[in-house]
Amino acid sequence: LARGGEQTLSVFEQMRDAGVAATESSYSQVVRACALDGDVASASRLVRQCVSEGLVVRLRTFQPILVHYFSAGDLEKGFEWWDEMLATDPTVLLSALNSHQGPVEEIFVHVIKGCAPRVLDGDEWACRKLDDLMGEMAEACLGVTEESAAVLCE
């Protein structure tokens, strides 16, 4: 029997071969299945394919890859994908926070757990990257607050 990610990827590819257009949601589900199976190479390829097709990506599109790398303590790859996500759509965090998506909290927990050992060891790079990420998340939270205030003042 094939693993869940392999089966999901196979069905997705059959769907695409049959001419069915993929959505960000369908990509996100296949990315998640592949990442949960440990097939991060396929998950990564699919995220980049989704972006190259011009689909509007969300945090949930990147979440499985981010969680995979940060959970494994592979901060370099985790932050590489974090940076790629923000380069793809700088408002992705703001959008996720506005829609009350759980991935923000889940990713943050995995980032902290992944960074903690290296931060405690005094790894300056890990400290700087964690500080940058926290600043980006704080800016996104302030953006939500500013939008909420504007709506309340109208």
* DSSP assignment letter at 58: -
pLDDT digits (tens, 9 = 90+) for 43-64: 999 999 999 999 988 888 898 9
Confidence band (pLDDT; 50, 70, 90) for 31?
very high
pLDDT tens, residue by residue, 91-130: 787 777 766 656 677 777 778 888 888 888 888 888 888 8
pTM of the model: 0.78
